[in-house]
Amino acid sequence: MGSLIGFDDLSKGEVWRAALAELIATMLFVFVGAGAVVSSGMLGAGLDAARLVAIALAHGLAIAIMVAATAHISGGHINPAVTVAMLVTRKIGLAKGVMYVVAQLIGAAIGALLLAAVIPDAAEGGLGAHALGNGVVVGAGLTIEIVLTFVLVFVVFATAVDSRGPNVIAPLAIGLAVLVIHLIAVPLTGASVNPARSFGPALVAGQWANQWIYWVGPIVGGAIAAVVYQGVFAKKG
C-alpha cells in the first residue's frame, strides 16, 4: 500500500524539485494564457477571429514551451487533468500526484495574481476566467470539456508517455493540440481543459460561475483518454 501511494516520494528532493517546476510552469502558463485574453481585449471589444487566433496561439505556444522546459524535470504535466490521468494509469504515485496538483493550483493562483498586479484596473475584467458562451447550456459545456480534454490527454500519452511515440516533438504536438482546442472552444466554454488554468483567474477575480464544469469535464475526459490509450494502444509486456 505504501509503495502504491508513494509516501517515499515525500522524502525525495527530486520530487520536491519536480513539484516546484510544476508550480513555476503553471504560473507562467496562466500568466501568458490569461494575459493574452486580457491584453487582446484591450485592443477592442468582442471576440473576433483575430483575437481568437491570438488567444489560441498564446495558450498553445505557452504550453509547448513550458512542457519542453519541464518534461525532463517533472514530466511537464502543467495540468491537474494530466496528473490525474497519470495517477489513474499508475504512472505516478498518489503522494506525488497530490504534490503536483497542489503545486499547479498554487502556481495558477500566483500567475493570476501577477497578472492582476500588472494589468490596468480598467482592463482586468475577469482576468481571463472561463465562462460558458452565450447559449451554451451546462450539459453542452461539460461535454465539450470532456471531449477536448480527451483529445489533449490522448496526444500526451501518444507522444510523451508512450516510448514508441515521437517523444522529441511531444511538446510541439501537445502545444498544437492546445492551440486547436482553443480555436474550437474559446467561444463555447473558454477552452479550459485544465482545472488549474480555470482556478487561478477565478480565485483572483472572484468569478466562480460553473467552475465545477472546468474540474469535472477535464478530469473525466483526461482519465477516459488515459485508460483507453493504456488499454488499447500501449505496448503490452
* pLDDT tens figures, 52-108: 999 999 999 999 999 999 999 999 999 999 999 999 999 999 999 999 999 999 999
* Cα atoms in the Cβ-side hemisphere of radius 13 Å centred on 217: 29
d(CA 188, CA 124): 21
d(CA 79, CA 97): 11
Q: Is the pLDDT of residue 41 over 80?
A: yes
Set of cell numbers at residue 119:
494589468
Say what the pTM is. Answer: 0.94
- The vertex-210 CA angle with 223 and 222, nearest 5°, equals 10
Percentage of the chain modeled with pLDDT above 70: 95
Q: Which of 9-18, 125-134, 196-205 has the lowest mean pLDDT?
A: 9-18
Q: Under a CB-based contact definition with an 8 Å cutoff, are residues 224 and 150 in contact? A: yes
pLDDT at 144: 98
d(CA 105, CA 27): 9
Which backbone phi and psi does 6 adopt, to 5 degrees? 85, 40
Residue 166 pLDDT grade (very low, low, confident, very high; cuts 50, 70, 90): very high
* pLDDT tens figures, 5-30: 766 767 678 999 999 999 999 999 99
pLDDT at 59: 98
117-131 average pLDDT score: 83
d(CA 99, CA 115): 24
pLDDT at 7: 66
Q: Under a CB-based contact definition with an 8 Å cutoff, are residues 129 and 191 in contact? A: no
Residue with cell string 493562483: 109
